[in-house]
Structure 1
Amino acid sequence: MELILWRHAEAEPGSLELADEHRALTPKGQRHAARMGAWLERKLPADCRILVSPATRCVQTADALGRRYKVVEALSTASSAEAIIEACGWPTHRQPVLVVGHQPLLGDVASLLLCGQKQDWRIRKGGVFWIEHKASDGMPYIRLVAGPDVIGKLR
């Protein structure tokens, strides 16, 4: 199974007037989401399932990919790494999964899958953390970690 964790791109700051789940991407965040989305569109398998947090900034980040996706409440900011892993069907689901979500949850997911415990791993805004698991190996491994600033250099 392949699990691609994509942290939402830069969003506007929180405020008393704007609920956290309604924060939108900044112009810089829109550019980074578009850059990463274009790269992912070329690299993702055609059958990749795309699961997205209901937060506006995550939906906008996923929109930059240009593929159909499913908004999943289990990926919200109030979720847990365990709930996200379960929603993905890790590791038994054969279909690749792209998750568009939040920090620190995505870092928790990556560290839990790769180390067996949650650690303070950070994924940059707009960045991806690509994990692969082959049943024949038994152990997951890191396939790619990249931010939107360097993704254009990866062909």
Structure 2
Amino acid sequence: MDLLLWRHAEAQDGQDDLARPLTEHGHRQAKRIARWLERHAPEDLRRCCSPARRARETLEAWTQDYELLPEAAPGAAPLAVLAAIGWPELERPTLIVGHQPTLGGIAALVLAGQHSTWSIRRSALWWFKRRQRHGHVETVLRVVLDPELLD
């Protein structure tokens, strides 16, 4: 099953962490990844998003069709987010738009099976595929995209 992690794009500084909007640069970053997703996202993709404004604005560069995932709010525990979406027994491919260090922690758990503090750049997209191969379950890192490298 596919799991996609998309870190929110660059946001403005502010006191109310949940209300911080994207910068102009952040909107451009989000649109670059959105254009790529438009062409390559798996069919029947479940789209989950942190309730923070910057995460919602990032995902809204691509779609208005998503569900808020309170468990993915800033400071969320990686295991809590994975439990909320039902990993590894996902019913359908799932995208999470969220924050650091949570997404980096999820990436480490999914790919390496251990807790770690991996870093995911702003507006970067990581795509994992969990599959059975030769009688073993494996997780493959399919794609890592940096918006600055996309046209």
- TM above 0.5, yes or no, is yes
Structure 1 match to 2:11 = 11
Within the candidate set 37, 42, 51, 2:39 is matched to 42
C-alpha deviation, 1:13, in angstroms: 1.4
The gaps in structure 1 that reach 5 residues or longer are none
Q: How do 1:83-94 residues align onto structure 2 when only pairs under 5 Å count?
A: 83-94=80-91
Cα pair 2:4 2:94 within 8 Å, conserved: yes
**Paired residues, what number?**
149
Deviations 1:92-111 (A, max 9, x none): 11410010000010000000
TM-score normalised over the length of structure 2? 0.94
Structure 2 match to 1:82 = 79
C-alpha deviation, 1:46, in angstroms: 2.5
Does the residue aligned with 2:122 lie in a helix, a strand or coil?
A: coil
The gaps in structure 2 that reach 5 residues or longer are none
C-alpha deviation, 1:67, in angstroms: 4.5
Cα pair 2:75 2:101 within 8 Å, conserved: no
> Post-superposition, which runs of at least 4 consecutive aligned residues in structure 1 deviate over 2 A?
none
TM-score normalised over the length of structure 1? 0.91
Structure 2 match to 1:144 = 143
98-107 or 41-50: bigger deviation: 41-50
Q: How do 1:50-61 residues align onto structure 2 when only pairs under 5 Å count?
A: 50-61=47-58
Structure 2 match to 1:2 = 2
Identical pairs, percent = 39
